[in-house]
Chains A and B, each alone.
Chain A
Amino acid sequence: MTHAIGALAIAAAACWLAAAGVAVLGAERRPGLGASAVVSGAGGIAAALCGVLLAVHGAGTTIRLGGGPVGAATFHIAPLAAPFILLLGLVAGAIALYGPRYHEPGRGTAVYLAVYNLALLASLAVLAAGNVVTFLVAWESMALLCYLLILRHHERPGVAEGAFLFIALSEIGFLMIVLAFAILATQTGTLDLAGIAARAGRVQAGWRSAAYVLALCGFGFKAGLVPFHIWLPAAHPVAPADGSAFLSGLVIKLGVYGIALFGFTLLPGGPAWWGLVTMGFGAISAVLGILYALMERDLKRFLAFSSIENIGIIVTALGAGMTFIAYGQRAIGVFLLIVALYHTVNHGTYKTLLFLEAGVIEHAAGTRDLDRLGGLIRRLPRTAVICLIGTVAIAALPPLNGFVSEWMLFQGLFQGFRISSHLVGILIVIAGALIALTGGLAINAFARAYGIPFLGMPRSGQAAHASEIRQPVAGPALLAGTCVLLGIGAPLVLTALDRVARATTGLDIRSKLILPQLTVIPAHTDFAGFSPTYLALFLLAITAVPILIFFAGRPRARSRRPPVWDGGILDFKPRMQYTATTHANPVRVTFEPLYRPSVQVERASDDPAGRSGPVHYRFKVTPIFDRYLYQPLIRLVETLANLARPIQSGDVNLYLFYVFVVLLIAYAVYAT
């Protein structure tokens, strides 16, 4: 079994390397594009299988590659990485199905696809890294390759800024990650990740906390936790649709992987405040993510903020898990780890689906602006159905996978009363309340994100002429099917994740997680439980009730069928509908102190009777993190740089003086 896992991982890596080569050589023509996609998809299948086998088997495998002046590249595929590798395979497979119909063959596409496949390879390397150096090299390559991905259409406005923001924040995070690993490596004396985990006890308490906080912030930059998130809404809309899907579906999960790695493998058993801080970051990211999402008119920016929200949920689960373990409630802690991993896979699936469909909408209707779309359910029927499944999943509605994982998260959080410290219990309850607020706002947000573009009447000519011909369907459909299976088959998935958790933390909660009747329970039988499988069957069966009522209650008398009563209106116009902006108005008004909006209203005249002609209303949300956190930091850095500038005056005589001073110092030092 272990051989199979290793072999599959190598096969996936080889496929992606080959796909990159095929893309560079052949993707300027359509057959080459297709061939590259096929190879990439094969790699995806291999990776998905590898992830599944790894989860089921529950033990890792190690591969050493090379040797030489830099040392060997050690890969240790640990069970903790299994859900992420599975997700990587799914995303790669879906994007492989999607790519050929989305991209136009050409030089730019060829380079892009090569970079993309190498990014897949780098992501696999990050997940499989067994050595600090391997991890860091893989991480940085992945970041640089993603930077190139975002720059696909570099001539368009906003792309360069978005990509720059991505790489800048990624580098800051990378610096913190390097420091964290450096602390651990020097304190334990080894560069091997398994070795660090084994010797974690040698690290002193202060250094442990420093390492964890650095890791949390460093990986938080990649994951998109608030306040490290500002690159997400800038970079996701400007990348091509499958690039955004890859970024949001997988790359930000690598940040989560890093936090889980530090919290559960490298530095397990940390003090409770680690978990509370993590949980705090997570809860605030969740709420702020969805609140900013509701103000967005651009579909992809909206999805980017929604990713921030879901990462917040995942990180809340991780943090709460760590807190419960620190207080001795290990079963609940492991349960919450399982929830975090499950939600990672779930979110990866439906967020990738939604980004791919956003790409389809953009190509079909020519615009991403929600206020210019409408009525697409008639023009793009298959897209509408697939998008509906993805929306129902992400809004956490039964019986799909989002519902199961959020239900489990709430059940885990509600058990805060089992912790001996009342303060911590209250904090966990507050986190639960914030996540509940997020859930409600998410339903609002996704009702808006689905209803405005797909339902109603088209709000622009472009939307009225959207066409589904030659639009990709297979990739998103695969992901939709996966969402349904992950939800209905939750008992199976959770069994596998339980093995992952057992391998990671040493505690098996199988009997406390799934009862024989396919029921999921939150680690305590006396608390709550439901069966996702039976719930799905029940919901299907209950749709028969209105059908039966209809057939039984049909009127026997002659009946007349007049048109639907519409209030006597003459004609419906698209402008009478809700727009995305107005749909979110209650939230905007309620949370105005958070948004601090700047509103501009221009009228042609002040005629009180309203005959003044068009009114221009401009509403902008104040970017508080950009303005109050990053701009001051940037100004500080610029000030320091300005202070240091005189050193580099350009005067040769000054430089010679520097040389002289250094020689003096060297002489003085070596003479003693």
Chain B
Amino acid sequence: MQTEPDPSAELSELSGELRRRALQLFGRSLHIRTVDTGSCAVCESEIRLLAAPHYDLHRLGFFFTPAPRHADLLMVTGPAVRAADNLLLKTYEATPDPKAVIAVGACALGGVYPQDSVMHGAIDRVVPVDVFVPGCPPSPLALLQGLLVAVGRLEERVRTLSLDLDAGSAG
């Protein structure tokens, strides 16, 4: 069984790494453009919370921008509703390279909604995705981790995570 996480320690570690990676790769600031392909907007609220004083994204040099031309990262939410295909593809095309696409939320990763005539079901069926951030909604801490992974290809923790609580015992 995993020990309870200590958010503040993780946070310091995360934010330090984030800054370092961001500085290396993109200079002193990184611009994020959010794209909503039909979500319930709770993921958007969590993303917006990142800029709130508690998490304060701006102090780390991340900014939100409405113009994809200025963006380095795309944060895409929603189950890729087909009506938003045009929107998502145009935004993706308009974002200059180097860019990273972060799919945020269970909907964007394929959960909850199936692939049918109305929607694709998962973002990576429409545009190539660099980082997947699960959660419904992912908490801002999880979003931060996602940003870090997107920016620096940090070693991810989830690869070594096992859901078998009995692992380790003789089975």
The chain A residues found within 8 Å of chain B, CB to CB, are 560, 562-563, 565-566, 568, 570
> How many residues does chain B have at the interface if contact means C-beta atoms less than 8 Å apart?
12
Mask, B90-118, CB within 8 Å of A = 1, is 11011011000000000000000000000
Residues of B within 8 A of A563 (CB): 90, 93-94
Across the interface, do A565 and B69 meet the contact criterion of CB distance under 8 Å?
yes
Q: Which residues of A contact B97 (CB under 8 A)?
A: 560
Closest to A571 in B: B86
Closest to B93 in A: A562
Shortest Cβ gap from B109 to chain A (Å): 22
How many angstroms from the CA of A560 to the CA of B92 in the assembled complex?
Answer: 13
Selected contact of A570 from candidates B68, B86, B88, B94, CB within 8 Å: B86
List of B residues within 8 angstroms of A570 by Cβ: 86
Pick from B67, B86, B88: contact of A565, CB under 8 Å: B67
**In the assembled complex, how far is the CB of residue B132 from the closest CB belonging to chain A, in whole angstroms?**
23
**Which of B69, B86, B94 is the most central at the interface, judged by chain A CB atoms within 10 Å of its CB?**
B94
B5-22 with Cβ < 8 A to chain A = none
List chain A residues, Cβ under 8 A from B67.
565
Known: A562-B93, A566-B90; 7 extra A-B contacts, CB below 8 A, are A563-B94, A565-B67, A565-B90, A568-B87, A568-B88, A568-B90, A568-B91
* Inter-subunit contact B69/A568 (CB<8 Å): no
* A557 nearest in chain B by CB position: B97
A565: B residues at CB distance < 8 A: 67-69, 90, 94
Contact of B86 with A562 in the complex, beta carbons under 8 Å:
no
Chain B contacts to A: CB under 8 angstroms: 67-69, 86-88, 90-91, 93-94, 96-97
Kindly provide the distance from the CB of B88 to the nearest chain A CB, expressed in whole angstroms: 8
User: Which residues on A sit within 8 Å (CB–CB) of B90?
Assistant: 563, 565-566, 568
CA distance A466 to B94 in the complex (A): 34
Across-interface contacts of B91 in A (CB, < 8 A): 568
Nearest CB of A to B68, in Å: 6
Alpha-carbon gap, A570 to B96, bound state (A): 21
A-B contact pairs, 12 of them (CB 8 A): A560-B97, A562-B93, A562-B94, A563-B90, A565-B67, A565-B68, A565-B94, A566-B90, A568-B86, A568-B90, A568-B91, A570-B86
Provide the bound-state CA to CA distance between A570 and B83, in Å: 10
Per DSSP, are chain A's interface residues mostly helix, strand or loop, or mixed? loop
- CA A668 to CA B88, docked complex, whole Å: 105
Determine the chain B residues whose CB is within 8 A of the CB of A562 once the complex forms: 93-94
Within the complex, the shortest CB–CB distance from B30 to chain A, in Å, comes to 19
Whole-angstrom CA separation of A566 from B91 in the bound complex: 9
Contacts of B69 in A (CB 8 A): 565
Q: Smallest CB–CB gap between B62 and chain A, Å? A: 21
A568 vs B88: C-alpha distance when bound (angstroms)? 8
> How many Å from the CB of A569 to the closest CB on chain B?
8
* Interchain CA distance A283-B69 in the complex, whole Å: 48
Chain B residues with CB under 8 A of A560: 96-97
Instruction: List the A residue with the shortest CB-CB distance to B94.
Output: A565
**CA–CA, A490 and B91, complex, Å:** 52
Q: Write out the residue numbers on chain A whose beta carbons fall within 8 Å of the beta carbon of B87.
A: 568
How many angstroms from the CA of A563 to the CA of B68 in the assembled complex?
12
The CA-CA distance from A562 to B92 in the complex, in Å, is: 10
Report B98 CB to chain A, min CB distance, Å. Answer: 11
**Chain B residues, CB < 8 A from A566:** 90
| B90 to chain A: closest residue by CB | A568
- Return chain A residues, CB-CB under 8 Å to B93: 562-563
* Nearest 7 Cβ contacts at the A-B interface: A568-B87, A562-B93, A565-B94, A568-B90, A570-B86, A562-B94, A565-B69
Give the CA-CA distance A568 to B68 in the complex, in Å.
10
Chain B residues contacting A568 (CB-CB under 8 Å) are 86-88, 90-91
The distance in angstroms between the C-alpha atoms of A566 and B69, with both chains bound, is 11
Task: For B68, list chain A residues within 8 Å (CB).
Answer: 565
Of chain B, the residue at the smallest CB distance from A559 is B96
Nearest B residue to A568, CB-CB: B87
The smallest beta-carbon distance between B129 and chain A, in angstroms, is 19
Nearest chain B CB to A72's CB is how many angstroms away? 78
A37 to B86, CA, bound (A): 57
Residue of A nearest to B83 (CB): A570
Task: Report the bound CA distance from A262 to B25 in whole Å.
Answer: 79
CB distance from B97 to the nearest CB of A (A): 7
A570 to chain B, nearest CB (A): 5
The docked-state distance in angstroms from the alpha carbon of A563 to that of B90 is 8
Shortest Cβ distance from residue A254 to the other chain B in the assembled complex, whole angstroms: 56
CA distance A565 to B35 in the complex (A): 14
**Once the chains are docked, how many angstroms separate the CA of A566 from the CA of B86?**
11
Min Cβ gap B71→A in Å is: 11
Residue of B nearest to A566 (CB): B90
A145 to chain B, nearest CB (A): 61
The answer for the CA separation of A560 and B97 in the assembled complex, in Å, is 9
Among A560, A562, A563, A566: residue with most chain B CB under 10 A: A562
Shortest beta-carbon distance from A365 to chain B in Å: 32
Docked complex Cα distance between A568 and B74 (Å): 14
CB distance from A558 to the nearest CB of B (A): 10
Nearest CB on B from A561, distance (A): 10
**Contacting residues, chain A, for B86 (C-beta < 8 A):** 568, 570
Q: In whole angstroms, how far apart are the Cα atoms of A568 and B67 in the complex?
A: 11
| B67 nearest in chain A by CB position | A565
**What is the minimal beta-carbon distance from B13 to any residue of chain A, in angstroms?**
35
CA distance A565 to B91 in the complex (A): 8
* Residues from chain A with Cβ under 8 Å of B88 in the complex: 568
Q: Looking at the assembled complex, report how far the CB atom of B18 sits from the nearest CB atom of chain A, in whole angstroms.
A: 27
Q: Please give the distance in Å from A272's CB to the nearest CB on chain B.
A: 59
Which B-chain residue is minimally distant from A570 (CB atoms)? B86
Please report the C-alpha to C-alpha distance between residue A570 and residue B68 in the assembled complex, in whole angstroms.
17
Distance between Cα atoms of A570 and B67 in the complex (Å): 17
* Distance in Å: Cβ of A257 to nearest Cβ of chain B: 57
A13 CA to B97 CA, complexed, in Å: 73
Q: Please measure, in the bound complex, the distance between the C-alpha atom of A560 and the C-alpha atom of B94, giving whole angstroms.
A: 10
Measured CB to CB, the nearest residue on chain A to B96 is A560
* Complex alpha-carbon distance, A580 and B139, angstroms: 49
A565 CA / B67 CA spacing, docked (Å): 8
Q: How far is the CB of A43 from chain B (nearest CB, A)?
A: 59
Smallest beta-carbon distance B103→chain A, Å: 18
Q: Closest approach, in angstroms, between the C-beta of B160 and any C-beta of chain A?
A: 38
Give A559 Cβ to nearest chain B Cβ, in Å.
Answer: 9
In the assembled complex, the Cα of A575 lies from the Cα of B94 at a distance in Å of 25
B33 to chain A, nearest CB (A): 11
CB distance from B106 to the nearest CB of A (A): 24
Task: Provide the bound-state CA to CA distance between A570 and B86, in Å.
Answer: 7
Nearest Cβ distance between residue B121 and chain A, in whole angstroms?
Answer: 20
- State the Cβ distance, B3 to closest chain A Cβ, in Å: 45
Measured between alpha carbons, how far is A568 from B87 in the docked complex, in Å? 4
Least Cβ distance of A36 to chain B in Å? 58
Q: Tell me the minimal C-beta distance from B34 to chain A in angstroms.
A: 13
Chain B nearest CB, measured from A566 CB (Å):
8
CA distance A566 to B93 in the complex (A): 12
Q: How far is the CA of A562 from the CA of B86 in the complex (A)?
A: 14
Cα–Cα, bound, A562→B68 (Å): 12
**Cα A565 to Cα B88 with chains together (Å):** 12
A-chain residues with CB within 8 Å of residue B94 when the two chains form the complex: 562-563, 565
User: Nearest residue in A to B84 (C-beta to C-beta)?
Assistant: A568
Complex Cα distance A21/B68, Å?
A: 69
The complex places the Cα of A196 from the Cα of B158 at a distance, in Å, of 105
